[in-house]
Chain A
C-alpha cells in the first residue's frame, strides 16, 4: 500500500475543486522510516518508527525534489539518515511527515524492500531518484 493519509487526501480534493485552499506544507518535510506498514488512517504520531540508536526523521526540503513528471515526483538530492550507532531495526516502509517528531500529517507513505539497519552498515541512504511518489 502507499499513498496519502486520509486527511491529506481530503485537503487536496477540496483544494482541487476550489472549495478550500490547501496551504502548502512548510519546508522541510521529514522522512520517517517505519517497521510497521503505514496506513491511510495513520498520522505522524501513530506510525511505528525505527528505533535504532541514532534514528531520527530526516529533513527533506522542497528543493530536494525534482520536478514532477510522468505522474511521479522523486528526490533530486540524496537523502541520508544519521548513522545507526547501536541496536538494529528492520525497516519496511516510509512516511513523509510534516513534523520532525510526533504529531502532524503524513503527506505520503509507502513500502520499501526490507532493510536491516545496524551499526555495521552504512547509514540508510536514498540515492537520487530512489524515493518516488506517484499520483496515478
Chain B
C-alpha cells in the first residue's frame, strides 16, 4: 500500500490508533514499571502489546468518532490486512500489534 505511512485514511488511523503504541524493549520495560507503580496493572502480563480482532473491533466501535460500528469484525480485519501490507501492523498469533513504522505514521 504505497504511501500508507504518510497518508493514513481516517478508518486506518482509528484502527491503528486503537492498538497499543509500539515500544522498543527498553520502552516496553519502562511502561510496565510505570504502570505497576501507578497501579493501572498488577502484573507485567497485564500490559497490552497487541489486541485481538474482537477486542480491537470493540474498542474502535466504542470510539464515537469512528465510522466503524460493533460487529464489523470483517471490515476491521480488512483494514488490518491493508495496514499489515503497509508494514504498520504485524500479527502475532491471535493478536495484532503496531509496528515501529505504525507508530511513526501516527506521530508524523
Contact = CB atoms under 8 A, between A and B. Distances in A.
B40 A42 contact: yes
B107 A89 contact: yes
Contacts of B84: none
The secondary-structure label for the interface of chain A is loop
A114 B40 contact: no
A17 interface: no
Contacts of B81: none
A41 B48 contact: yes
B34 A45 contact: yes
B41 A92 contact: no
B35 A41 contact: yes
Contacts, number: 81
Given A6-B41, A39-B48, A46 B34 contact: yes
Interface in A27-68: 35-37, 39-46, 48, 51
A18 interface: no
A69 interface: no
Interface residues of B, number: 31
Interface string A98-136: 000001110000011110000000000000000000000
Nearest to B38: A43
Nearest to A112: B65
A36 B41 contact: no
Contacts of A114: 10, 13-14, 65
Interface of B: 8, 10, 13-14, 17-21, 31, 34-35, 37-41, 46-48, 59, 62-66, 98, 103, 106-108
Given A36-B98, A39-B20, A51-B107, 9 more contacts: A36-B21, A36-B107, A37-B17, A41-B46, A42-B40, A45-B31, A92-B65, A93-B17, A114-B65
Nearest 7 CB-CB pairings of A with B: A7-B39, A43-B38, A6-B40, A36-B21, A48-B21, A46-B31, A111-B63
